[in-house]
Structure 1
Amino acid sequence: MNIIVERDVWHALREQFPSLYTFDDPRSLSSKTDFVITLGGDGSILHVSSLFDQSAVPPVLSFSMGTLGFLLPYDIATFPNAIEDVISSRITLLLRMRMSMSLWQEPDQCLYLDGETSCRQLHFMNEVVLHRGRNSHMTIMDAEVDGEHLTRAVADGLILSTPTGSTAYSLSAGGPIVHPSVATMVLTPISPRSLSFRTILLPSSSQIRISVAPQSRAPAEVSVDGRAVCTLEANQSAHVQMSPYPIPCVNLAPGANARRAGSTKLSPKDDWIRDINTLLRFNASFVPRDSPED
C-alpha cells in the first residue's frame, strides 16, 4: 500500500517515514487514490473536497479529532479496525451531494479565476455564499431558477447549500435541517430587508443563476466552503447546479458500532439521526434551574 500525504506533512515526516509520497498537482490525485483518510474536524472533509474540485472523489474515511465531528463517524482509537473494514469492503458509503459553480459576465462571457485560462466548474460540498463582505451597503441580487426569475434579494447575502451544508452556515442564518439523502438545494437569505423572504428548497436538477443587479451599490464577495473565490460586480453572476461528483463518505461497518466504538447505534443509517440529537441538540428541552428563582 502506497501512502500519499500533503506536502507539508511529507516534509515533517519524510525522514521518519521515507516511503511516504506527496503530490504537486491535486488534479493527478483522482487517478492515483483508492481511498482518502482524514484526521481532524469536519473541515478536513471540506478540504478533501477542495482537492478534488474538478473530478470524482475516492471514498473518504474520516476520523474525529476536532471539536464537533458532525461528518465524522469513526473515533481515532478505532483506526486499525476501520482501515481493515475499508480494505475488506465491510463498509457502506453515504454519497453526499456536491454542487458545482461557474462564474459569468452577462450575457454569456465566462469569468476566469486568477491564473486560469479556461472556464471551469468549482465543485464544493457545503455551500456557496454571495455576500456584501465589509461593504456598508446591502447587495441587490437576482435569483433565477431554470431560466425563470425567482426573486430580487436585497440582503447581506444569499447562501445556496447542499443537504450536508444545511447544518452549517445556512442553519445559522435560519435555514432548515435537511437529511443528506434528500436531493435538494437550499436557498437561504442572510439578513434580508424583507421579512417575508424565507428559505426555499429547490430540486437538485435545478439550474440556478444568482447575479448582481445593476442597481446594487455593493459587489458580492463569493466563497465556497469558507474559501474566498472572487468578487462579483454588477451584471456578473454565479451559475450553480448539482455536481456529478458526490463525496462518498465511509459509514461505520454494520455490527461494528457497539463492538468497536462503544456506540449504541443500530445501523450506519442512524449516524445522522444520532448526530443531530447529540451534537446539534435538536429540539432539546430547557434544563431546569438547580435552585428556585429569587
Structure 2
Amino acid sequence: MIVTFGGDGTILHASSLFAAAGRVPPILSFSMGTLGFLGEWKISEFKRAFREAYMSGSETERRTTISDQEKDTEDSRTGWSSVRGKSMGSTRGARVLVRQRLKVGLFDADGRRLNTNGGSPKDMHAMNEVLIHRGRDPHLAIVDVFVGGRFLTEAVADGMIVSTPTGSTAYSLSSGGSIIHPLVPSLLLTPICPRSLSFRPLILPWATPITLRLSQKNRGREVEVSIDGARREHGIGVGAELRVSGEDITQHDGAWQGGIPCIMRRSNAGPDSDDGWVGGLNGLLKFNYAFGEETV
C-alpha cells in the first residue's frame, strides 16, 4: 500500500512512480496540502483510516498466505495480515475507488515508437491528463485530431488535453472542460485556447482511441508533451503522434489489474454515498458560489 501526506500533487507523484506498471498498489491519501481535492482523509483520522485499510477482511494484496488454523497462533503473526478481519469482520471491507488511467504512446512521423520521458520506448499511464502544448513558441499549434481512427478536426490552439474523469477538475477544468464524476468511464478532449470559438470540449466513451498528430502546417516545428505535469525532456516534431486510450481495468482473484485503487472514507449517508466528491466541489472548488459571497 502507498500512503501519501500532502496535496493532489503528492498523489500524482506517487502514481507516476508506477506509470510504466500494469498494477498500482492501493493508495491511502491524507490531505495536508493547499487544495487536496483528491486527498480523502484528514490526518486526524489516521487511526480510523489504517484500521479500515488493514482490518477490513479484504483479501486483496495479501503479503503472506496464512491459513485459518495458523491465524490464532502467536508465532505465526507476521505483520498486518495476521489481524486482518478480526476487529471489523469480513463484511466491513474498506471502500475502494479504482480511478481510471490513460494509456499513452508516442510515435514519430515514420511510426516508430518514442520514449515518453526517458527509459525504453513503451506505453506510459497517466492519472490526470496528457497534453501537447506550443510551449515557448509564439505560434499556435496546429494539431490533426482523430477519434476512433477517423479524422475529427484540425485544431489550431495553444494545445490539446486528454484527461480522465479524475483529471477533469485539473488543467482541463481551467481550460473550460466539463467536470466528470470519477465513476463515469469516459475520456475528456479539451482544447487550450482554441482559435475557433466553435471548438468545444468533448466527452467520449472510455474505450475510444484518440490520436493527436502535429500537422505539417505548423510554423513552429516542435510542441511540448506533458504527462501528469511531467514535461518530456524533448519536444515532438511535425508528423509525430500522441496515441491515447483508456486503460483496461479487470479484476482477477480479488486483485485489480489496471487503474489506481484509492481507499475512500465511508460516509454516514451509506456506502454508496458520493458526499466526498460533492463536498469537494462545494468546499474546495467553491462550486456555484454567488459572485462576491464570503466563504468560510
156-165 or 244-253, which deviates more: 244-253
What residue is the counterpart of 1:29 in the other structure?
none
Corresponding position: 1:52 with 2:18: yes
Alignment of 1:214-229 (within 5 A): 214-218=216-220, 219-229=222-232
**Letter of the aligned partner of 1:54 in structure 2?**
A
> Which residue of the partner structure matches residue 200 of structure 1?
202
Is 108-117 or 87-96 further displaced after alignment? 108-117
For each residue in 1:199-240, what CA deviation from the matched residue of structure 2 results, as whole angstroms up to 9, or x when unmatched?
Answer: 011111011110100111122100011110241110101110
Partner of 2:161, secondary structure, is strand
Correspondence for 1:42: 8
Contact 1:49-1:123 at 8 Å conserved across structures: no
Q: Which amino acid aligns with 2:265?
A: L
Provide runs of 4+ in structure 1 moved above 6 Å. Answer: none
The amino acid across from 1:75 in the alignment is: K
2-side partners of 1:114 and 1:151: how far apart?
A: 28
TM-score, normalised via structure 1 length: 0.79
Unaligned stretches of 5+ residues in structure 1: 1-34, 256-264, 290-294
Say if 1:85 and 1:253, in contact at 8 Å, map to a contact too: no
Q: CA deviation at 1:282?
A: 1.1
Q: How many residues align?
A: 245
Deviations 1:231-262 (A, max 9, x none): 1110101110112321111111355xxxxxxx
Q: Distance in 1 between matches of 2:117 and 2:5?
A: 30
One-letter amino acid of the counterpart of residue 231, structure 2: A
- SS of match in other structure, 1:123: strand
Contact 2:145/2:154, CA 8 A, preserved across alignment: yes
113 and 165 in structure 1: CA distance in 2 versus 1, 3 angstrom threshold: closer
Q: Which segment drifts farther, 231-240 or 277-286?
A: 277-286
Offset of residue 140 of structure 1: 0.5
Partner of 2:253: none
CA distance in 2, matches of 1:133, 1:113: 17
Q: Is the 8 Å Cα contact of residues 91 and 254 (structure 1) preserved in structure 2?
A: no
C-alpha separation in 1, matches of 2:103 and 2:112: 18
TM-score, normalization by structure 2: 0.79
Match of 1:128 among 127, 130, 138: 130
Q: Secondary structure at the match of 1:74?
A: coil
Distance 1:61 1:193, change over 3 A: same
Pairing 1:248–2:214 present:
no
1:72 Cα offset (Å): 1.0
Aligned identity (percent) is: 44
SS at 2:45 equivalent: helix
Contact 1:142-1:152 within 8 A present in 2 as well: yes
The match for 2:52 among 85, 92, 101 is 85
RMSD: 1.7
The residue type equivalent to 1:146 in the other structure is: G
Indicate how the Cα distance of structure 1 residues 136 and 287 shifts in structure 2: closer, same or farther if over 3 A, else same. Answer: closer
Alpha-carbon deviation of 1:81? 2.1
1:47 partner amino acid = H
Distance 1:106 1:150, change over 3 A: same
Q: Residue type of the partner of 1:52?
A: F
CA deviations 1:186-205 (Å, max 9, x no partner) are 01111111111110111110
Tell me which residue corresponds to 1:269: 274
Q: 1:271 and 1:170 mapped to 2: Cα distance?
A: 21
